[in-house]
Amino acid sequence: MKKILFAATFALFASTQAFAIIGVGAHYITNTGSLGASTGSIDFNNPITGDAEKIEVNQGKSEGLQGLGFKLWIDFLPLIDIEGTFNIAAVRYNTTLIFPGIGPVPLSFPVEAPYSMLFDDASPIYGVAMGDVSVTYPFDVIPIITPYAGLGFSYFFSTAVVNSDFVKDVLTEDFLNSILDPTNPGALTDGSASKGIGDAVVNKLKDSGYETGIGGHIIIGVRIKPPVIPVAAYANCKRYFGGNTNSKFDKGFTFELGGGFAL
């Protein structure tokens, strides 16, 4: 009888310790979303010849955002769980300017801090940050493992995209006059002109705010919490909707894989 009572007590203890009442963790993110390509043109009057001309701006497609995130979750509420998440993900893309009679000029960005992490080899990044609050319903049917599903609200931050609309505000008539060669109308002064355009774009990015908006998400996931040990691992899949990210950005699915400290 004592052995049966001991076994029952141990089983009850183990089951109550299998799921944390609160936890905090960090995770790796991969996002299947993509930033669609964009092609546009900028009309201008050549300051040397006076002719009406166009500069084409080709912003390339990019997909497969990656990043990091952090999560806090609470499990002790009746029927539902609550978790808060902050994710940051980014992807590189290319932007090229095509001047009339000259050809393509890839943008060249400086690599001095703090932009060395953002620009490299003329390649800017598109970044998205999401702050999520999720309400989930746990399916506590398997010891140690808790599958769950739910819904939540999301607050989005996204960076500007260097496309034709963005570059249009940089290539003013005075600026074009400074990079066109007066002895050879229609030609760039030299190789430094490309860097000058890149510098001007970066300066505009410094002054540009984030696009923000409120949306939502659907979440399904699983959390693994061994008995007694104060750690847990988790994996989530989220589908975002709404918000005010760039219209060319398809949010796709976000996958989170991580772990952390859990009581």
Query: What percentage of residues in the chain have a pLDDT greater than 90?
Result: 30
Question: Alpha-carbon distance 199 to 30, whole Å?
Answer: 31
Would you say 232 and 258 are in contact if contact means Cβ atoms under 8 Å apart? Answer: no
Q: What is the pLDDT of residues 168-182, one digit of tens each?
A: 887 776 776 666 665
Would you say 217 and 239 are in contact if contact means Cβ atoms under 8 Å apart? Answer: yes
Question: Which residue is it, tokens 């893309």?
Answer: 93
- Return the CATH architecture of domain 2-262: Beta Barrel (2.40)
Lowest mean pLDDT across 10-19, 51-60, 139-148, 229-238: 10-19
The pLDDT of residue 17: 41
* Residue-range domain boundaries for the chain: 2-262
Question: Alpha-carbon distance 255 to 263, whole Å?
Answer: 24
Element (H, E) at 29: strand 22-35
On the question of pLDDT at 112 being above 70, the answer is: no
Q: Tell me what the mean pLDDT of segment 229-233 comes to.
A: 91
- Band of pLDDT at residue 73, cut at 50, 70 and 90: very high
Return mean pLDDT, the chain.
78
Q: What is the pLDDT of residues 41-55, one digit of tens each?
A: 888 776 666 677 777
Task: Give the predicted TM-score (pTM) of the model.
Answer: 0.76
Q: Tell me what the mean pLDDT of segment 73-81 comes to.
A: 86
Q: What is the pLDDT of residues 10-44, one digit of tens each?
A: 343 344 444 458 999 999 999 988 888 888 888 87
Higher model confidence: residue 192 or residue 163?
A: 163
* Number of neighbours of residue 180 by Cβ within 10 angstroms: 20
Q: What is the pLDDT of residues 81-94, one digit of tens each?
A: 999 999 999 888 88
